[in-house]
Structure 1
Amino acid sequence: MIAVKDTMLNNVLGNFKIDQKNYQFQDINQGYINDTYLVLDQNGPLYILQRVNHNVFKDIKGLMGNIANAFSYLIDTEYTPIALLKTQAGDPYFEEKEKGFWRLMTYINNTTAYDNATDVNIAYEAGKVVGKFHQLLAKAPLDNYVDTIPQFHDLSLREDQFNASLKSAKPEKLEIAKSAISFAKDTLEKLKVIDNSKLPQRICHNDTKLNNILFSKESNKALCLIDLDTIMKGYFYYDFGDAIRTVANQAIEDEQDHRKITFDRLLFEAFVDGLGANGPFLHHEELNTLAWGAVFMPFIHGLRALTDYLNDNIYYKVSYENQNLDRCLSLFHFTNKALQEVDYMDQVIKKKLTPLN
């Protein structure tokens, strides 16, 4: 079976402008959406090969255009670049009619990623690289980016989808998830305090969980962000809140023992210090939303997981029936902790970050 898979993947690589030989492959299973492989030869890792899930991402051309555009700006002495390898036809991706859409990217040697911050240095470096990412992309014209998933973090849309799932869900699932459903309804009302109309749009990563940041194994310095499928227009509190849910929390995303779920103030402050190390780049109105962003992002991920659970797991990959519900409950537990820290977070942000205006 492995030999068959390797043969198939080598056939895919034959469509890219790289040395044509037999490569080996190693599965990378961190993501929920795409199929990802590390490409190796006898000397070690060389590339990252991905099959993009076109059931989730409908506009592959627009998605790949976003990534190629962003990569052209994400080059700096404080940011390690990644490049797309072109196909034999000169395209940034290869379309295989039966097996989907493939892309090939450069591999950064001697790197690692963390699911959670284990110390303040990791949290600080995460904040610093997220800030640098936004500083570099502030120069990129917004009009050059399409919405790869329209209304990705739109609370009204996610609320409508959630309400629709309540009407169609099996009675036993509604009973099992009743506490999560109640929390979702209460929190949806609280989050309507956020007013996007006062905020500038930015090019956002939109999925800045900690394991989408590469770190140097030697120095533990954060090098760059990976998995840019969701890069598109958004608001900075999206990326801030998405990072905080994995930086300040020591538990895995679908942790069933909620006693392990934390809001670590030292790690939170270290992340904010890292953002501040880039100098001012956020407007006053943006700073006012960041604390609520740390509530909004774990909640909206939890709401999507709950909706998918009620819809019989049609979006996220799951390894057991109730995994989406476990994700939801874990994310909602952290959301509740973040709700209790809003005033504290706001004070830290105002103290440590200087606005542009």
Structure 2
Amino acid sequence: MATSILSAFIEETEDLKSESFGSGLINSTWRVTGNHSDYILQKINQEVFRDPSKIAANVRIIADYLRKNHPDYLFVEPIQTRSKQDLAYFKGDGYYRLTPFVKGSHTIDVVSTASEAYEASRQFGRFTALLDGLDLSLLNVTIPDFHNLSLRFEQFRESLSKGNQTRIFAAEPQVAFIMDHADIVREFDIIRKNPDFKLRVMHHDTKISNVLLDEQNRGLCVIDLDTVMPGYFISDVGDMIRTYLSPASEEENDLSRIRLREDIFEAIVKGYLSEMYDVLSDAEKSAFVYAGKFMVYMQAIRFLADHFNNDVYYGARYPGHNFNRAVNQIELLKQILDREENLVAILNKTIRKVI
């Protein structure tokens, strides 16, 4: 890592070493260490985040609010540049930020136990609960319409008319499944008009690797706040259900390995409600299962639309990559639908226990 980048933030850089760090797919990340120093350096991906200053402003607003109202919360605050900026900009290269590495912390990429799911969902719930008093009008929208299912569905329908017709014809069963379950989109439209579903400070990217854990795998705090902006609770809970419920990721092509784990669903509900029970409305509490359907369905149609559009958004590491991702998500959604009664029963039982 170029010394000039680090020297924008700190004075002593000669003895520091850097290595690629983490499993994130968007930003480039390095861990920078020295005799008495330990940092995380990131270069922000401007193909995804067109205006990094909006991210920096959001993080600063949240940091100031938490410091004033919840000073005991562990918040990984950016280290400002020597000129008191939250980002360092290098012409022809881009934007960088530096944060301290939290000693004794680590992350994981896959949820293996109900305890891990509980700890992660509790941390995401706590984050939103602590920020319940923050004026949402202060926050920037870093990715417009990021979880707007109605828009994503329209984009999917457009891909059917303008996309690769050979690919569309070959995916007829998957297209039929998506259209047969368009009621998930209609329910989203109803939620947006329902005053019981409030806009809140949501993380919008609640994969397990965005939670710092201590040496005993207890949750410390959430990280990677690039997508923090106003949204509905179904975004965060839905993404946890989508990424925690099955031991197989969205990249798995062996559908037999996609398995809905009811104990993980119960842990997500318990963990989130342990922090958010008094914040959520009754209507929101009843929508946990819908949240999972919402997010899995949306990701399925995004992968399928990109496949029809010749992989212009996500790209493809091999032919049919996005089609296989879509099939993967459709299988997970089928399992949620098949076991919806069980999941609702778990939800209702858990809500009663939390009271």
Alpha-carbon spacing, 1:356–1:118, altered in 2? closer, same or farther (3 Å)? closer
Alpha-carbon spacing, 1:27–1:156, altered in 2? closer, same or farther (3 Å)? same
Check whether the contact 1:205–1:239 (CA below 8 A) recurs between aligned residues. yes
Match among 60, 63, 72 for residue 55 of structure 2: 63
Q: Which residue of 2 aligns with 1:292?
A: 290
Shift of 1:18: 5.0
TM-score of the superposition, structure 2-length normalised? Answer: 0.89
Alpha-carbon spacing, 1:202–1:187, altered in 2? closer, same or farther (3 Å)? same
- Partner SS for 1:111: coil
Q: Which residue of 2 aligns with 1:245?
A: 242
Shift of 1:165: 2.2
- Partner SS for 1:312: coil
What is the rounded CA distance, in whole Å, between the counterparts of 1:29 and 1:20 in structure 2?
22
Match among 297, 300, 307 for residue 309 of structure 1: 307
> Does residue 173 of the first structure (1) align with residue 170 of the second (2)?
no
Q: Which residue of 1 aligns with 2:40?
A: 48
What is the rounded CA distance, in whole Å, between the counterparts of 1:226 and 1:197 in structure 2?
31
Q: Which residue of 2 aligns with 1:265?
A: 262
- Partner SS for 2:206: coil
Provide Cα deviations, 1:132-190, integer angstroms capped at 9, x if missing partner. 11111112110111111111111121112222222332233324433332322222333
Q: Which residue of 1 aligns with 2:224?
A: 227
Q: Which residue of 1 aligns with 2:341?
A: 343
Shift of 1:192: 1.4
State which drifts further: 290-299 or 25-34: 25-34
Match among 128, 136, 143 for residue 134 of structure 1: 128
Alpha-carbon spacing, 1:41–1:122, altered in 2? closer, same or farther (3 Å)? same
> Does residue 84 of the first structure (1) align with residue 81 of the second (2)?
no
Q: Which residue of 2 aligns with 1:150?
A: 144
Alpha-carbon spacing, 1:329–1:19, altered in 2? closer, same or farther (3 Å)? farther
- Partner SS for 1:220: coil
> Does residue 94 of the first structure (1) align with residue 100 of the second (2)?
no
Q: What aligned pairs does 1:181-220 form with structure 2 within 5 A after superposition?
A: 181-194=175-188, 195-198=191-194, 199-216=197-214, 218-220=215-217
Shift of 1:79: 4.6
Check whether the contact 2:274–2:354 (CA below 8 A) recurs between aligned residues. no
What is the rounded CA distance, in whole Å, between the counterparts of 2:173 and 2:35 in structure 1?
53
Match among 8, 20, 30 for residue 37 of structure 1: 30
Alpha-carbon spacing, 1:68–1:186, altered in 2? closer, same or farther (3 Å)? farther
Seq. identity, %? 29
Check whether the contact 1:282–1:356 (CA below 8 A) recurs between aligned residues. no
What is the rounded CA distance, in whole Å, between the counterparts of 1:36 and 1:139 in structure 2?
32
Shift of 1:283: 0.9
> Does residue 123 of the first structure (1) align with residue 117 of the second (2)?
yes
Check whether the contact 2:150–2:185 (CA below 8 A) recurs between aligned residues. no
What is the rounded CA distance, in whole Å, between the counterparts of 1:312 and 1:31 in structure 2?
24
Shift of 1:255: 0.6
- Partner SS for 2:220: strand
Residue identity opposite 2:175 in structure 1: I
Structure 1 segments unaligned to the other structure (5+ residues): 1-5
Alpha-carbon spacing, 1:323–1:266, altered in 2? closer, same or farther (3 Å)? same
- Partner SS for 2:182: helix
Alignment root-mean-square deviation, CA: 2.5
Shift of 1:231: 0.5
TM-score of the superposition, structure 1-length normalised? Answer: 0.89
What is the total number of aligned residue pairs between the two structures?
348
Residue identity opposite 1:224 in structure 2: C
Check whether the contact 1:292–1:342 (CA below 8 A) recurs between aligned residues. no
Check whether the contact 2:273–2:354 (CA below 8 A) recurs between aligned residues. no
Shift of 1:126: 1.6
Alpha-carbon spacing, 1:282–1:163, altered in 2? closer, same or farther (3 Å)? same
Q: Which residue of 2 aligns with 1:15?
A: 8
